[in-house]
Structure 1
Amino acid sequence: MKIPFLNWTEEQNFSEEAKSLFNESGECYKASAYRAALLFSFLGFQTVLKDRILESRTPKNYQSGEWSQLQNTLLEDDSWDATVIKIVNNKKKSIFSLNDDLINQYMYWKNRRNDCAHAKGNEIGDAHVEAYWLFLKSNSMKFRVNGSKEYILEQIKEFYDPNITPPNASIKPLVSQIPHSIDKKDLESFFQDLKEITASKNYSFTILDSNKSSVWFELLDLDYYSKEIIKFLILKENDSFAAHLISLNPSYVMNFQGENSFIRYMWNNFSHENDYKILLNLIKNNLIPNEELEECFTYMFENVESALFSIQDSFYEPFNEFEIEILKNTSFFEIFYSLAFKQMRIGGDFNWGNRNKHLVIKYLEEFKMDNTIAVALNNCKSALYPPWHLNSLLNDFFERNSEEEDKYNELLHTGNPIPFE
């Protein structure tokens, strides 16, 4: 069975050299060679720190030449380890953003490493190794190079520049560097800068450029940052930006669990046919309170085109059978029945009928026709301003389903049905 700490190292953006040292530490631990286990773990983290320094651009308190010279010393096999220790312990000209307590903890483990390396009298056991592993899991991301925020933002700009980056490239490796580059206290300013980089310039209000959305989705997948990102996105000035982000991948709406005000704002501004996909994900994740469902569904019927209920006419992937079943398990179709057929909105409101034309057809495909439905359909033909687009679809539906047309005529046999032909 693999040691949990090693599972954690595999999930980190560590170099193969660092991972190899951590794996060797694990083998020593399983063999009860605890001094060796702690020694290799310390070297593994030293390698992580060395890699971060070598991969970073010049921090704000260093000159370019001075930084290059420091990086060169880390390439020397005989002295790089001692250089990393000096860098961490340099409080006058710090490279890592560390408080005194964290530096002291690091130096404590450096001294325990020395106990292992030089066979000093202090006993080293499994508890020491496990405690050091907990220290790394809790604090490794806090060892960041000053000035990395600007560097990361510049890299993101370059990633979205088609002259530099091929279209099939993944931004995931770049995003994986962010947790050890941006401190949580700097996150809001980082997200604000990132918003400006990824915003579309073609609108009077700020929305996300769909071609630059991948960085946000990758960030939302990082547990370390997800809460902070949501906190930023639900700020009032970011409402339209966040709503457009969700529209590009509706499944991510589940990240907004508990943000009731934002969720209500979002569905209260639905206007696009693909917003039905967001609605479906809101329902799947129980994000709309039961007492607001009728209001929400009524809003959809009043404002959103129903093309997702059609295989032929939807620009997006239409609802499948499983998704229709999800809607059936709510009051969605009952409320639609009441508005469309009982209140005869399909015939009495030209725009309402045409907007919901595909939903009318889907209802007829999924449920039995009754007298209320037949009367409402008949009213569509006799209305002063008939919904022509809906009537055209009804003609096609009855041509494909002659038994349904017979049922329609049968239900209205005591009245004066207008044939669909």
Structure 2
Amino acid sequence: MGSWNTVHLFDVSKFYNDIIPTLRGEKGSLKNDYIDFLKLSRIGGINDLSDYDLKKLTNESISKIIRISNQFDSIFKIHKIYNNIKPWEEQRKYLNDNEYYYTFNMFFEYSIFKYCADFHPHIYTGKRGLNSVLAPKKNTIANEILDNLENFNTFFCADNTGVGNWINIEDTNILFNCKEDLFSKPPYDEDDYNYFKKIIKLIEIASSNNLGLIRGIDLRESMLEKLPGNKLIEESYWKNFKGDFNEYLTSITKENNIEKEHKINVSISQEKKKINHVFPKDSLSTKPIKKNKNIPNDLKIISFKDFHSTVYESVLENKIFISYYYESGFSQENLVLELNSKEVLKFRENANEFINKQATLISKNFNHIYKERNIENFIDKNLMLKLMTAWKNK
């Protein structure tokens, strides 16, 4: 179905002079930012957390964020361990084994758009990015710079969600000066040409204001839209633009909203055709199992990954329940499923691999699985908090 690609203005200087040193623990503190991040990103916010639990969660997460941040090179694009792993399967395993990977990526995205970039205004660049829209001339420096922006860093968005890549001020200056190399095919109609002009205008604005550009892939807009805007350029500046350019730049057009809605709500008939491909025989079953109305009373949490999954086990009944966190656009939900006997065996063989593999499959076909297997009213909130407290204190 493709991803929701966007390009935003980016304050590269602030990113390298302030944000990166703070992420590495070299200056300032991440405490207040992380608590504000939890308020926006955590389902239900932080009201259910005691002062002790909030402090413990914040301190643990910040220490992991600092540790991961110090594993990058000086320009924060090459991870010294991850990028030396060549097979994709091994790279994926490395990420899956790091329980704070998803938390780090979400907080990284949050930090950038809180301080270094504005969610609005932005340009929507299609499901395949600027290269497919602009068709730049080959073997030109403009094409090389565009490739750097388009070739997303898989550490930051291994699941095609998050910050893709960025280019600096020098690059935006070159792109604007070489704009004639960005569009090798003649405009087929007026809409094509107008869209090309809008992209060039965004590059010109970045260049004239000493800003870079940053690419987002299915960014968590429900969180980012709540952050302060007009940090890079004053709001009055945008009033200088007339016609539909400002409307296009500051929001997604009605036409694109229809496309996005279509992207999310694929017809049921299409989904049914895909099921056998998405779910091979040895993976997650889409067949519902008989649901026991009585949840076992000896449940305990045996695995917890922040913003990813929680595993509950009943020793007496030999049952495993997994609650997966799922986010798409404005939607944040949890899918709770009981493993069938075959899945329990797979889980026992390699719990972490099983959990992450199923999370990937669920993200591809969430709506269908939710309809077929989600256990509604799994456990009440008080019991969940008690189990979580027991897990954190063990």
Quick check: TM above 0.5? Answer: no
- Larger relative contact order (CA 8 Å, sep ≥ 6): 2
| TM-score, normalised with respect to structure 2 | 0.24
Higher helix proportion: 1
